Amino acid sequence: MAKRMVIMLICVGILLGGLVGFHFFGQFMMKKFMASNAAPPATVTTAKAVEADWQPQLHAIGSLRAVRGVDVTTEIAGLVRQINVKAGQDVKAGTVLVQLNADSDIATLNSLQAAADLAQTVLARDQSQLAAEAIAQAQVDSDLADLKSKRAQVAAQQALIDKKTIRAPFSGRLGITLVNPGQYLNPGDKIVTLQTIDPIYIDFFVPQQDVSAISVGQTVGVTNDAFPGVRFDAKVSAFDPKVDTTTRNLQVEALVANPKAQLLPGMFGNADVDSGEKHHYLTLPQTAISYNPYGATVYVGKDSGTKDSNGKVVLQAQQVFVTLGPSRGDQVAITKGLDAGAEVVTSGQLKLKNGTKLIVDNSVLPLNSPNPTPQEQ
């Protein structure tokens, strides 16, 4: 009997030991399975949330226009005798550009001048005779009228000759001319273009809701893709007294300083008009924001409490809800949810969840410019 009891106790002990062993073996295998299925570290780019002052601006695209610009033409027909200037030359107002042949007109002027001189002599003689009461007053009056007529003919002929000397109506830069000596010009034929380009105007339009932000003398920054990175200073010089009823836009004119004559009439330019007071914002690249039906979120890199083999702190992802403010270019303002200096994931968010380990690689960063321009591929 005692022997049978011993055997039963031994069997119970073996059974209990097997159960305990199986339990610990199961836990070991479960931990191994969980470890093998843990999310691997994700490679991301990050950026610090930084504070910046934003100046509200109105952005518009406008056209550059010369302060004075004209195609110089001839008022009367004639044969080109001489061209006194070169293409692209800067000239002053009154500079002789082209001289037309005026030989026959000058000969006619000399004939008319001689007739006028004779009329002057006749008038002087008749006035002496009138003093001696040898002739009537009517004769002297006729002589005086004839003299005035002759002088008027001389003046008209002189004006005709002057028109054959074509001068610059104002100071500016000449364009390319295709007129050559010996060429016959008809009235209205283009000789050369003349443009005053320093300073130069830019005309642009702003929507009616921004009319209150525009005033004469306001600072305008002008840029042009022909000169990347260069900002031209301008000031609002005038604006239309009415809004276009078709587009509900207001035309604005600004005077641009152009001392190097880089900007040319006909170019387009980007006009940025400062409006209102500066605002202080916490900013991030637009790519850092994940837009969801339940709100905007970002992933912040938090200290996981561990270090890698190089002794560098390992970060882990934590999703944070944020409140967005205005945006400009590639940047967006954060009004709530983040502190300055927070390290925020800017690309690679799709593979993240809370607790995911992060490998930061900032060798290639997303765009983060307040004034982006098209990128050539």
Note the pLDDT of residue 28: 53
Say which CATH topology domain 58-67+196-274 has. Elongation Factor Tu (Ef-tu); domain 3 (2.40.30)
| Fold equal for 58-67+196-274 and 102-163 | no
User: What is the distance in angstroms between the CA of the first residue and the CA of the last residue of the chain?
Assistant: 94
Domain spans in the chain, listed from the N-terminal domain onward: 42-53+280-360, 58-67+196-274, 102-163
Q: Which pTM was predicted? A: 0.65
DSSP conformational letter for 188: T
Tell me the pLDDT of the chain (377 aa) as tens digits: 566 665 666 665 666 655 555 555 555 555 554 444 455 788 888 989 888 888 778 889 999 999 999 999 999 999 999 999 898 899 999 999 999 999 998 999 999 999 999 989 988 888 888 888 778 888 888 889 989 999 999 999 999 999 999 999 999 999 998 899 999 999 999 999 999 999 999 999 999 988 888 889 888 999 998 898 899 999 999 999 999 999 999 999 999 999 998 999 999 999 988 877 788 889 999 999 999 888 899 999 888 777 766 667 788 899 999 999 888 888 899 999 898 889 999 998 888 888 888 888 888 888 877 767 665 54
Cβ distance 138 to 146 under 8 Å? no
- CA–CA separation, 136 vs 132, rounded Å? 10
* Both structure tokens of 172: 């500016």
Tell me what pLDDT residue 26 has.
Answer: 55
Per-residue model confidence (pLDDT) at position 345: 92
Residues 6+ apart with CB under 8 A from 308: 314
Please count the other Cβ atoms lying within 10 Å of the Cβ belonging to residue 232.
Answer: 24
Burial-class residue 304 by CB neighbours within 10 Å (0-12, 13-18, 19+): middle
pLDDT at 21: 55
pLDDT at site 40:
73
pLDDT at position 35 is 43
Q: Provide the pLDDT for residue 33.
A: 45
- The answer for 227, left when phi > 0, alpha when psi is -120 to 50, beta otherwise, is beta
pLDDT given for residue 307 in this prediction: 72
Identify the CATH class of 102-163.
mainly alpha
Question: The CATH number of 42-53+280-360 is which of 3.30.460.10, 2.20.25.240, 2.40.420.20, 3.30.450.20?
Answer: 2.40.420.20
The whole-number pLDDT of residue 292 equals 87
So what's the pLDDT on residue 237? 93
